[in-house]
Structure 1
Amino acid sequence: MTRGAPVLTGAQMRDAEQAVFDAGVAPFALMERAGAAAAEVIWRAGGLRDTLVLCGPGNNGGDGFVIARWLRDRGVPVRVAAMADSRTDSARRARAAWDGPVEDMASAAPATQLIDALFGIGLTRGLEDGVAARLCALGAGASRLYAVDVPSGVDADSGAMLSPVPHFDICIALGALKPAHLLQPAAAVMGRLVLAEIGIETSDRVQRLAPPRLEAPVANAHKYTRGLVGVVGGAMAGAAALASVAAARSGAGMVRLLGAGEGVTLASVVQVGTEDATDVARALSDARYRAVLVGPGLGRDDAARARMEAAIGAGHPLVLDADALTLIGQDHIPAGAIVTPHEGEFVALFGALPGSKIDRARDAAARSGAVVVYKGADTVVAGPDGRVAIAGPASSWLSTAGTGDVLAGLAAGRLAVTGDAFRAACEAVWLHGDAARRAGVAFVADDLLAALTAAIAARL
């Protein structure tokens, strides 16, 4: 798998910074490094546009003073406005090094560019009403907005909005991404994310989902060596059909739809009539299956439950989606399976777990032993070994019927190809999002199927 950008919580970031200090780097030297890295991004994006830097009382404000000094030295017309006196040693040193006027934020005039360096990753409550209103007003008066690390008014660990926040064109993450850069609703107020390296060591246990590296079939491949996928259908023929075609387009060599006599015609999928659980068990006795998907269109009655149990009993690698997540309990999920719940299904299956979406996904994966694809506008993939990958914001046009079936089929197909549940889930989520991007606007689930070829081709 390709390695994505690291994601650290506030506490993890402070620990990483402390390790730098313990190695002999002074806190103010790290602040200088961070401010210069952020200023370089702003300089490249904004050039000589007139700029207002808003500085808070802590180290984020200190970064702002460094940024202002750096930009001024390169000829940028810079003004600085502060909301309060600097309160940390490094921030006071940065303010003293500025040696220019410092305006009162409450009365500062807007500028073409606005840099928010009010508060960083430590914010746990909303801004005071007057400060939040002033930030939004100055943001409305600017044509380009930058946030230093995270926008002020955002909980860096959960992505919660603690107070009103304007939309930022560029958010400059210092040292590592933070959960709020990728989790909703905070991610919706950030445009382009730029990771500014500042020389700290980061963990790779939680990452932003990276584009996968895929491989074409080997020269002597055939349909069974490429991966045989089974899709256990049921009452709703269309959902199983969508999932089956997605699996067929995923790179797998062959897909068998184990239907219940629906009469679906699919040129790319072999249909196998299975009227009851005994037929499903018989069909899945073939040892060549590399993955079996259960859930899309399955139904929720006793017959559906029996078909699901027969599929699980066959012992093949599993993807459980949709109705299967309603029928199965947390304690009955086979270890190593991929499960793909949306918010409602997640709560019904695992309960109202505490913490951020990352925390909840990782907890659910550890409890169940499954790879959890916690779907939504901020999809999180968590493995039982503690690895987490967070997808960037996806197209809001995915909020239409059938797109989840396509994702489930993709996951089953990639599982058949790779044999690695976590990798397969990550590849499926990325390809699903990229296909949505290529499909444009007002698409339907069938359009995603057509876009998958180009999405896969781009990663070979």
Structure 2
Amino acid sequence: MPARPILTVAEITEADRAAIAAGTPGSVLMERAGTAVADAVCARFRPQPTVVLCGPGNNGGDGYVVARVLKARGWPVEVRALAEPATEDARDAAAQWDGPMAPLAGTLEPALFVDALFGAGLTRPLDGVAAAAVQRLAERPEKVVAVDIPSGLPGDTGRPVGPAACARLTVTFHARKPAHVLEPGKGLCGEVVVADIGLGEMGGGEPGGGGTTSRLVENGPELWLDRFPWPTAASHKHDRGRMIVVSGEAWSTGAARLAARAGLRIGAGLVTVHSPPDALAPNVAHLEAVMLRPFETDQELEQAAAQVDAAVIGPAAGVSENTLLNVLALARTGAALVLDADAITVFRDDPEELFSVLDRDDVLTPHPGEFERLFPGLLSGAPERISAARRAAEKAGAVVLLKGADTVVAAPDGRAAVNVNGSPWLATAGSGDVLAGFIGGLVAQGMESFEAACAAAWIHAEAAELHGPGLISEDLPGLAPAVLRRLYEDR
């Protein structure tokens, strides 16, 4: 299965136009869309009083189809119309509705609501009757199904510009839009079902392949599983990559060990923690399969790392001159770098110094605060996180993984992927250190850095979901094998 694209409103509009130009009438697309919504409703709810809220555009036209199909299946349905249909296809759909109908005004009594007021193309704030209606829907999201997107939510940003509905279920068409995967829009959408209404190919094996020019995709195994570095019967540890992790000082060693264990669990053949002398004792007391090696200066670290494939630095490394020099030393070795936490923050006064030594094989893994330190104003000034991460990757000349509930991975060439399987259980100290280790372990095995970052982020979230409540970061490396087994069987 190809990677699933995430398309902007303009790209979806173009896909609609192309399908119509190729001979599929808009009315047929509307019928398919409304039927898909009705199918999703019937699969999740028992028949009950249902109110379909219809706007004047084609989103409203979809709503009239939903109402007709549900009524034909025996559901008690009423339509509440915001205004007269304003498009030919919507007028045709409305003309086929022969059930109860009233203006969208006054109180909305408790019912199952289908929100077909406005679609993803809306960019202005809702007001008047429409605003009052979506505020009512937001009070009871468990009884709301959104057609395409909750009304009031712009499809390209996921950031409401005024009142917006909140849904238990959103049924969209052809592909997710940015608002379906980016917070806060993602949270307003509830479960998202993507219905195929016949707009053509969903994409190829690479972002932008097949029938779309999009270079933005959902992060999932379809994107990277066919290039995952599985061992063969002839493999040995030296074939499977050499990874190092730089430890912090004696009182800050746990983070490096988490990253190292993660790298080993994800498949790296040889993993070594490089440790300042005063941190050797706590490290040696806790390490088993992970090796340990001392270093005192950045020159010694550079020499020790000369033959490694990937290096992780930053977890509890300390925001110090030593960390800065160690990053620069590792950059001279040719190893792919995974820079996290302190290895990012230490360059806040001179980001260009870091960017000058990075290359496209390196990976930065900032949370929003660290991102702001390295790319000041970029996140707050961008329309959404995808644009910010892409711009940062271009500026740094490296892969950027912007962490969050809607983690975005961006490459310098413009490719980007958004995690749709984020887990709330990852909100615990040290989980980011494990993620850095997963990335480093995959890169060490020869996986391309963008795909390695995507795979690591997905596996990280899946492992957290396997455990659920009570998860601590120490659990994550041990949960990875169950996820890997599932991927191995699905390859």
What range is the shorter-chain TM-score in?
over 0.9
Q: What residue identity is the alignment partner of 1:225? A: D
- Hey, what does 1:219 align to over in structure 2? 233
Alignment of 1:444-459 (within 5 A): 444-459=472-487
Structure 1: gaps spanning 5 or more residues: none
Q: Classify 1:142/1:368 alpha carbon distance in 2 versus 1 (closer, same or farther; 3 Å).
A: closer
Give the 3-state SS of the residue equivalent to 1:224 in structure 2.
helix
- Hey, what does 1:12 align to over in structure 2? 11
Give distance in 1, aligned partners of 2:113 and 2:152: 16
Give the 3-state SS of the residue equivalent to 2:274 in structure 1.
strand
The answer to whether the 8 Å contact 1:175/1:198 transfers is: yes
Give the 3-state SS of the residue equivalent to 1:155 in structure 2.
coil
- Structure 1 residue 215 displacement after superposition: 5.8
Give the 3-state SS of the residue equivalent to 1:39 in structure 2.
helix
Give distance in 1, aligned partners of 2:246 and 2:192: 41
Give distance in 2, aligned partners of 1:364 and 1:50: 49
Number of residue-to-residue matches in the alignment: 457
Alignment of 1:80-95 (within 5 A): 80-95=79-94
Asked whether 1:373 is paired with 2:406, we answer no
Give distance in 1, aligned partners of 2:121 and 2:409: 26
- Structure 1 residue 7 displacement after superposition: 0.8
- Hey, what does 2:312 align to over in structure 1? 293
- Hey, what does 2:205 align to over in structure 1? none
Bigger CA drift: 165-174 or 101-110?
101-110
- Structure 1 residue 185 displacement after superposition: 0.8
Q: What residue identity is the alignment partner of 1:389? A: A
Alignment of 1:45-194 (within 5 A): 45-107=44-106, 109-128=108-127, 130-138=129-137, 140=139, 144-194=143-193
Bigger CA drift: 360-369 or 222-231?
360-369
- Aligned-residue CA RMSD (Å): 2.0
- Of residues 406, 419, 427, the one that matches 2:447 is 419
- Hey, what does 1:244 align to over in structure 2? 260
Give distance in 2, aligned partners of 1:416 and 1:3: 25
Give the 3-state SS of the residue equivalent to 2:78 in structure 1.
strand
The answer to whether the 8 Å contact 2:114/2:144 transfers is: yes
Alignment of 1:431-446 (within 5 A): 431-446=459-474
- Structure 1 residue 443 displacement after superposition: 2.1
Q: What residue identity is the alignment partner of 1:305? A: L
Give distance in 1, aligned partners of 2:143 and 2:325: 58
Q: Classify 1:52/1:423 alpha carbon distance in 2 versus 1 (closer, same or farther; 3 Å).
A: same
Bigger CA drift: 33-42 or 49-58?
33-42
- Per-residue CA deviations over 1:62-105 (Å, capped at 9, x if unaligned) read 11011111222222221111122222222122111213332122
Structure 2: gaps spanning 5 or more residues: 203-211
Asked whether 1:385 is paired with 2:406, we answer no
Give the 3-state SS of the residue equivalent to 2:453 in structure 1.
helix
- Per-residue CA deviations over 1:207-237 (Å, capped at 9, x if unaligned) read 1111363564211221111111111223331
- Structure 1 residue 111 displacement after superposition: 5.0
Give distance in 2, aligned partners of 1:42 and 1:283: 60
The answer to whether the 8 Å contact 2:77/2:100 transfers is: no
- Structure 1 residue 334 displacement after superposition: 2.4
Give the 3-state SS of the residue equivalent to 2:231 in structure 1.
coil
- Of residues 243, 247, 250, the one that matches 1:229 is 243
Give distance in 1, aligned partners of 2:114 and 2:341: 44
- Of residues 206, 216, 219, the one that matches 2:216 is 206
Give the 3-state SS of the residue equivalent to 1:359 in structure 2.
helix
The answer to whether the 8 Å contact 1:232/1:311 transfers is: no
Q: What residue identity is the alignment partner of 2:465? A: R
The answer to whether the 8 Å contact 1:112/1:141 transfers is: no
- Hey, what does 2:293 align to over in structure 1? 272
- Structure 1 residue 117 displacement after superposition: 0.5
- Structure 1 residue 141 displacement after superposition: 6.1
Q: What residue identity is the alignment partner of 1:272? A: R
Give the 3-state SS of the residue equivalent to 2:155 in structure 1.
coil
The answer to whether the 8 Å contact 1:111/1:141 transfers is: no
- Hey, what does 1:259 align to over in structure 2? 275
Q: Classify 1:72/1:368 alpha carbon distance in 2 versus 1 (closer, same or farther; 3 Å).
A: same
Give the 3-state SS of the residue equivalent to 1:95 in structure 2.
helix
The answer to whether the 8 Å contact 2:54/2:60 transfers is: yes
Q: What residue identity is the alignment partner of 1:255? A: V
Asked whether 1:410 is paired with 2:438, we answer yes
Asked whether 1:355 is paired with 2:383, we answer yes
Bigger CA drift: 152-161 or 2-11?
2-11
Give distance in 2, aligned partners of 1:440 and 1:45: 24
The answer to whether the 8 Å contact 1:321/1:339 transfers is: yes
- Per-residue CA deviations over 1:258-306 (Å, capped at 9, x if unaligned) read 11121213112101101111110111122xx221112112222222211
Asked whether 1:342 is paired with 2:367, we answer yes
The answer to whether the 8 Å contact 1:113/1:142 transfers is: no
TM-score (norm. length: structure 2) = 0.88
- Structure 1 residue 129 displacement after superposition: 5.5
Give the 3-state SS of the residue equivalent to 1:3 in structure 2.
coil
Q: What residue identity is the alignment partner of 2:262? A: A
